Structure 1
Amino acid sequence: MLIELTDSPEADDEAFVIAQTRAFNAAFTKDDLRPLCVFVRDGNGSIVGGLTAKTCWDYLEIQFLWVDESHRANGLASDLMKTAEREAANRGCKHVFLDTLSFQAPGFYEKLGYSEFGRLEGFNGRHLRHFLHKSLAPSAYVQR
Structure 2
Amino acid sequence: MKKTASAHWQGGIKDGKGTISTQSGALNKVPYGFNTRFEDQPGSNPEKLLGAAHAGCFSMALSKELGDAGMTAESIETRAEVTLDKQDGGFAITAVHLSLHAKIPGADRAAFEKAVETAKNGCPVSKVLNAEITLEAVLDSSL
Q: Shorter-chain TM-score: what band? A: 0.3 to 0.5
**TM-score w.r.t. length of structure 2:** 0.33
TM-score using structure 1 length: 0.33
